[in-house]
Structure 1
Amino acid sequence: MLFTIISKDKPDSLDLRLQTRPSHLEYIKSLGDAVKLGGPFLDENGKPCGSLVIVEGDNIEGAREIASNDPYTKAGLFASTEISAWSWTVKNPENA
Structure 2
Amino acid sequence: MIYAILLMDRPGTADLRVQIRPEHRAYLAQQADRMAFAGPLTSEDGKTVVGSLLALDFPNRAAVDAWLKDEPYTKAGVYEKPVIHAFNNMWAQKAGFPPA
The equivalent residue for 2:92 is 91
Match of 1:64, SS?
Answer: helix
Deviations 1:3-40 (A, max 9, x none): 01110001121101100100000000012312221000
TM-score between both structures, scaled by the size of structure 1: 0.88
SS at match of 2:20: helix
Amino acid at match of 2:65: R
Aligned partner letter, 1:13? T
Matched, 1:37 2:22: no
AA paired with 1:48? V
Per the TM alignment, residue 92 of structure 1 is displaced from its structure 2 partner at its CA by 4.3
In 2: Cα distance, 1:80 partner to 1:18 partner:
20
Identity %: 30
> Where does the alignment leave 5 or more consecutive residues of structure 1 unmatched?
none
Once the two structures are TM-superposed, the CA of residue 83 in structure 1 deviates from its matched residue by 1.0
**In the aligned structure 1, how far is the partner of 2:93 from the partner of 2:77?**
33
RMSD: 1.4
Task: Give 1 or 2: higher helix fraction.
Answer: 1
**Residue pair 1:35, 1:55 contacting (<8 A) in 2 also:** yes
Q: Which residue of 2 aligns with 1:10?
A: 10
Segments of structure 2 that go 5 or more residues without pairing to the other structure are 95-100
2: distance between equivalents of 1:5 and 1:68? 13
So what's the TM-score if we normalise by structure 2?
0.85
Counterpart of 1:72, as a letter, is: Y
Instruction: State the AA in 2 paired with 1:29.
Output: A
Amino acid across the alignment from 2:73: Y
Alignment partner of 2:81: what SS? strand
Task: State the secondary structure of the residue aligned to 1:16.
Answer: helix
Q: Distance in 2 between matches of 1:5 and 1:67?
A: 9
